[in-house]
């Protein structure tokens, strides 16, 4: 994973629902196009998500970033934070950047995003596992912690062994996620 001293990496995961809101987010590019194929583009996406989550007061618990979509689980750390503001700024900045890079001004980059307000602990834990292990689901890697643009390696490094065992032990077969990318 790219270390960047200018980005506020999340601290050890708390793994509890927030009274201020805990969300599971999925977003996809327009027509499922792979705008972010190259590693540098994925690095920018990851740094942008980490930076904006910090800016808007959202504690990331899990994330997985791909060339045409992403998922994350986060909870609010303050009453004034808006997940909509975070996503709008993230999508706007990424679209402007990628369109400049590709010399494609005005091109639509993002299609939509879906959010789920998580209020049930087991659903929350299942979505944490789903997000951490999503690169395996997409058959990109055999072991999730080998994919540099997801939180699995960070999670395994910063969580307690019992937290890792608990989260990875959750079944995700009934998690209903738009993920046909």
Give 39-80 pLDDT, tens digit per residue.
Answer: 999 999 999 999 999 999 999 999 999 999 999 999 988 876
Record the tokens describing residue 171, joined without a space: 């079944």
What strands, in cross-sheet order, belong to the sheet with 22-29?
58-65, 69-76, 22-29, 110-117
Percent of the chain with pLDDT over 90: 75
pLDDT average, residue stretch 106-113: 96
Percent of the chain with pLDDT over 70: 88
Domain spans, the chain: 22-168
Distance CA 63, CA 70 (A): 7
pTM above 0.85, yes or no: yes
CATH number of 22-168: 3.30.70.1290
* pLDDT on residue 2: 40
């Amino acid at each position: 994973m790219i270390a960047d001293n200018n980005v506020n990496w999340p601290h050890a995961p708390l793994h509890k629902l927030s009274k201020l809101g805990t969300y599971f987010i999925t977003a996809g590019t327009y027509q499922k196009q792979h705008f972010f194929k190259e590693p540098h583009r994925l690095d920018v996406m990851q740094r942008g998500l980490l930076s904006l989550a910090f800016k808007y007061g959202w504690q990331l618990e899990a994330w997985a970033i791909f060339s045409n979509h992403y998922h994350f689980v986060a909870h609010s750390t303050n009453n004034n934070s808006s997940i909509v503001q975070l996503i709008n700024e993230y999508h706007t900045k990424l679209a402007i950047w990628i369109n400049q890079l590709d010399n494609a001004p005005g091109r639509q980059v993002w299609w939509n995003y879906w959010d789920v307000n998580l209020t049930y602990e087991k659903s929350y834990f299942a979505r944490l596992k789903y997000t951490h292990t999503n690169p395996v689901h997409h058959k990109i890697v055999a072991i999730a912690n080998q994919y540099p643009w997801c939180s699995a390696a960070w999670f395994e490094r910063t969580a307690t062994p019992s937290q890792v065992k608990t989260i990875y032990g959750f079944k995700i077969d009934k998690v209903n996620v738009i993920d046909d990318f």
